[in-house]
Each structure stands twice: as C-alpha cells, then as structure tokens.
Amino acid sequence: MAKILIVEDDEALNKAYEFILKQDGHTVMTAFNGQDGLHKADDFKPDIILLDLLMPVMDGLQFLQNFDATNKHPNVKVVILTNLGHEKEVEEALQLGAYKYILKAHESPRQLSVHVKHLIDKNIEKKESAV
C-alpha cells in the first residue's frame, strides 16, 4: 500500500478521502492548505499527493513551485484535484510536475481510490520491469 498526503481545504472532502483511502489500507496524512502540506510532505515522505488547487494560505500551484516534484521529488506522484473551469491552472500544475488531474465534480471519494490503485499498480509494474 501507499503513503498518501491529502492537501485539500474542504474539510468534508478531506475526511471522506482519508476514510476511503485508510479503508483501502493506505497510510494517510492530511493537510488543509499548501503550506501545511509542504511541512507534512517533508516529514511524511508520501508516495502520492492528492492536491487541491484553490486553498487559503498557499494554493496548489504555490505548493508545486515549492515542492519541485520534477527535480526534488520525481518519484512522488502529485494528482491535482480540481473543479471544472480551472483549465489554465491545471495546465500550469502539469508543467510544474503534477502527474495528472481529477475533476472533483465527476469523481466520488470511492472513485478517487480507484485512481490511486491504478497509480500504485503502474508504479509496481514500472519497478518490476526495471529489475
């Protein structure tokens, strides 16, 4: 299973994601803004980060600029959680090293866990083929 950091300011969504992912056997840590997420990412060393774009204190794009997924954390998969209408921000997030994005409006917390499972399976396949 994976270590997953959820950085989402919506408390209800944050708790729902955490509950489902823990049920699936993952180790989960949560943060409610990008600044808190950066501190927790340093200590927690996640495999996957689920990152909201629009948050107080530090938004998702600022988080990505500081986290530097491309150079400092190339093995961490950052998945953007966004709503419709944020195409410009999503494109910028992908340029800053995000792996993919998921539209919150179209995915339930259970469906999100399916995406996480696919990411984990993909990483396992990649590691096995490198051996």
For residues 8 and 32, the answer to whether their CB atoms sit within 8 Å is yes
Digit-coded pLDDT (tens) for 70-89: 778 888 999 998 886 678 88
Task: Catalogue all structural domains in the chain, each as residue range(s) with its CATH number.
Answer: 3-130 (3.40.50.2300)
Note down pLDDT in tens along the chain; length 131 residues: 899 999 999 999 999 999 999 999 999 999 999 999 999 999 999 999 999 999 999 999 999 999 987 778 888 999 998 886 678 888 999 999 999 888 887 777 778 888 888 888 776 555 444 44
Residue 112 sits at the vertex; the CA angle it makes with 95 and 125, to the nearest 5 degrees, is 70
